[in-house]
């Protein structure tokens, strides 16, 4: 945890910020004081823009001073601290002091932090109501929000990378090996994320666990997780299918190449026989040519014509092998289209 000097704007003032390193992910936390309460009540959207700008400027300045690459702000999660005089804190979310449109959607179930504070989670903006007469330690709420933020960023990173792989697939580029290893890595990361989520559910303190679950439920975490899992399954099937198609194409090409080489041996055989028929074997200074009906016939025939005919026969065999299966397949398809089930 690192202290960072916070920024100031005309409408709000951010106290000293704390930079958390949560499992390698940096989280910046600050208590922001509103100078003009009417500003927050009448313009929540502008308040969100101002607070986001403060965090961006503060982080850029801090990382520049440290000589590090400037990060990008991924998410600014705001929690309104409300000192409530309501006896039943669970009813504080109906308090007239809450700015209009603060909850970007209906808040989730209240999570009690002891008897002196209640927490509500919503999409983007949360609220913590505590009794004015009690001193409440904010660290327990901050820890819950940081952990929920970490899990959310973790799973959205997996989603972003999976969408990038999907774009690579649609581009038609030959990136088979990269996709295969990438999809396997994403399955591993999703499994690690599930382990962290399960450990939070089973090992964390009750109020911590309840707050994390409330935040993630408000953000639709389970739906996002299921969508990512289904997308990875589809990506795996697509990559595997394309790999099989590519292997089949390569196998067919190799088979055709070997077949062509085998057929062309007919030409090589004819040429070898012609050479043998006209060859002379020396015996006692007299030239003797091979005897036999085939060699005598070759010596009497036109060698050029024999080689030409062997080439023609080889080409016909190759074309037949290439065209005949396609013609049979096309005929079967046409016959299949004409089938009518009763």
Predicted TM-score (pTM) of this structure: 0.67
Higher pLDDT, 166 or 67: 166
**Strands, E, within the chain: which ranges?**
2-4, 12-14, 17-22, 25-29, 32-34, 78-84, 111-113, 117-120, 125-131, 281-283, 286-288
Q: Is the pLDDT of residue 48 over 80?
A: yes
Q: Looking at residue 282, what is its pLDDT?
A: 54
In angstroms, the CA 228 to CA 197 distance is 15
- CB atoms inside a 10 Å sphere around CB 316: 11
* pLDDT tens digits, 286-305: 556 666 676 667 666 676 77
pLDDT tier for residue 245 given thresholds of 50, 70 and 90: confident
* 50 SS3 class: helix
- Report how far Cα 188 is from the mean position of its chain's Cα atoms: 12
As a whole number, mean pLDDT of residues 13-30 equals 79
What is the DSSP-derived secondary structure letter of residue 289? Answer: P
- How far separated are the first and last CA of the chain, in Å rounded? 74
Q: Are strands 32-34 and 78-84 parallel, antiparallel or unpaired?
A: unpaired
* pLDDT tens digits, 200-230: 888 888 888 888 888 888 888 888 899 999 9
Q: Let me know how long the chain is.
A: 342
Q: Looking at residue 334, what is its pLDDT?
A: 56
Q: Which of 139, 113, 119, 93 is nearest to 214 (CA)?
A: 119
Lowest mean pLDDT among 23-32, 72-81, 105-114, 329-338: 329-338
* pLDDT tens digits, 104-124: 777 777 888 777 788 888 887
Question: In this structure, what are the phi and psi dihedrals at residue 98, rounded to the nearest 5 degrees?
Answer: -75, 130
Higher pLDDT, 280 or 4: 280
Lowest mean pLDDT among 34-43, 292-301, 305-314: 292-301
Are the CB atoms for 3 and 16 separated by under 8 Å? yes
Report the percent of the chain where pLDDT is more than 70.
73
In angstroms, the CA 306 to CA 271 distance is 9
Q: What's the alpha-carbon Rg for the chain, to the nearest Å?
A: 38
């Amino acid at each position: 945890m690192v202290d960072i000097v916070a920024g100031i704007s005309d409408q709000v003032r951010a106290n000293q910020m704390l930079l958390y390193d949560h499992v390698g992910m940096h989280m910046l936390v600050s208590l922001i004081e509103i100078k003009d309460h009417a500003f927050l009540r009448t313009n929540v959207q502008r308040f969100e823009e101002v607070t986001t700008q403060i965090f961006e400027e503060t982080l850029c300045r801090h990382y520049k001073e440290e000589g590090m690459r400037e990060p990008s702000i991924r998410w600014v999660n705001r929690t309104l601290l409300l000192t409530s005089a309501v006896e039943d804190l669970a009813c504080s979310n109906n308090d007239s002091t809450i700015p209009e449109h603060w909850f970007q959607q209906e808040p989730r179930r209240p999570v009690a932090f002891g008897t002196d504070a209640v927490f509500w989670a919503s999409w983007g903006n949360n609220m913590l109501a505590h009794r004015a007469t009690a001193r409440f330690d904010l660290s327990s709420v901050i820890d819950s929000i940081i952990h929920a933020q970490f899990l959310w960023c973790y799973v959205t990173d997996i989603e972003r990378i999976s969408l990038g792989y999907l774009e690579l697939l649609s581009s038609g580029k030959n990136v088979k090996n990269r996709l295969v290893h990438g999809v396997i890595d994403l399955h591993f990361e999703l499994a690690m994320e599930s382990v962290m989520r399960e450990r939070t559910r089973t090992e964390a303190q009750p109020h911590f666990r309840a707050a994390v679950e409330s935040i993630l439920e408000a953000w639709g975490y389970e739906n996002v997780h299921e969508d990512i899992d289904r997308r990875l399954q589809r990506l795996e099937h697509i990559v595997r299918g394309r790999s099989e198609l590519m292997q089949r194409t390569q196998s067919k090409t190799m088979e055709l190449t070997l077949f062509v080489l085998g057929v062309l041996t007919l030409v090589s055989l004819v040429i070898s026989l012609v050479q043998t028929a006209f060859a002379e074997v020396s015996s006692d200074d007299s030239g003797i040519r091979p005897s036999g009906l085939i060699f005598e016939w070759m010596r009497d025939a036109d060698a050029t014509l024999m080689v030409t005919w062997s080439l023609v026969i080889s080409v016909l065999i190759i074309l037949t092998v290439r065209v005949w299966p396609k013609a049979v397949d096309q005929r079967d398809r046409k016959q299949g289209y004409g089938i009518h089930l009763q």
